[in-house]
Amino acid sequence: MATQDRALDVDVYWSMRSPYCYIALDRCLEMPKRYNVNLNLKVVYPDAIKNPTIFEASAMLKYRLPYQDIDSFRSAFFHGVPMRYPDPDPVIQHATEDSIYGEIAPFEEQKIAHVLIRTAVAAAEMGKGWEYLNEVMRLVWNGQKRPWTGDNYEHLRRAINAAGIDADKLFKDVEANGEKYDALANKHSEEQIQNDSRHEGVPNFVFRNEPFFGQDRMDMLVWRLKQHGLTERTEAE
């Protein structure tokens, strides 16, 4: 039985397409087991969909994508997390002659992202968000199933069922209420810029309006929480 100490609340802004979110997953799952803390999951659409001109900015900042390739895999190796880039990429892109980065497809064409983000948001709304991520984030990012979608999302459906969620009901829900879950994802994005730094990156841990951006800020987050009375859970004999 856990202690009765008051749990502190942290909002966690999360993208299913972010390698750094995936790298942070195990530590996110461990935190509430060790500490009296609630991690409130807030799933957002990937930056590439929220801002289709992102590749134009990346082309100007030529270090960004090459460095991310190096750093994300280095970080995954450092934390002992098996990782491969998702196949297929949740964000659909079209090749263009004038850009090595291609072009982001319009929102209405982002069928894979719609399924992935809407089911994630719906799972979080039913209080099963972290169980969903524990299965689905690994499916997308660990490379054991390529394509991770399978035929008619069969792999995704199995992962959702493994999370203790009825995949058939969840798919029917998001198909019937896609706009509802898009609105919630957009609401989360709007919430992100309300904190003191107006930071939209992920993973972003926000405690009392103070953002901790990145998987490499989790130790600092715990340090701050302890300043506000964070306690460890103990088991009664």
Instruction: Name which residue leads in pLDDT, 66 or 129.
Output: 129
- pTM, two decimals, is 0.92
Q: Are 192 and 13 contacting, i.e. CB atoms less than 8 angstroms apart?
A: yes
CATH code for the part of the protein at 8-227: 3.40.30.10
Interval 101-117: pLDDT, tens? 778 999 999 999 999 99
> Which among 234, 230, 233 has a CA at the least distance from the CA of 222?
230
Identify residue 116 by its one-letter amino acid code: L
Pairing of strands 37-43, 210-213: unpaired
| Whole-number Å distance between alpha carbons of 73 and 143 | 13
Interval 17-66: pLDDT, tens? 999 999 999 999 999 999 999 999 999 999 889 887 766 666 656 667 78
| Whole-number Å distance between alpha carbons of 187 and 206 | 15
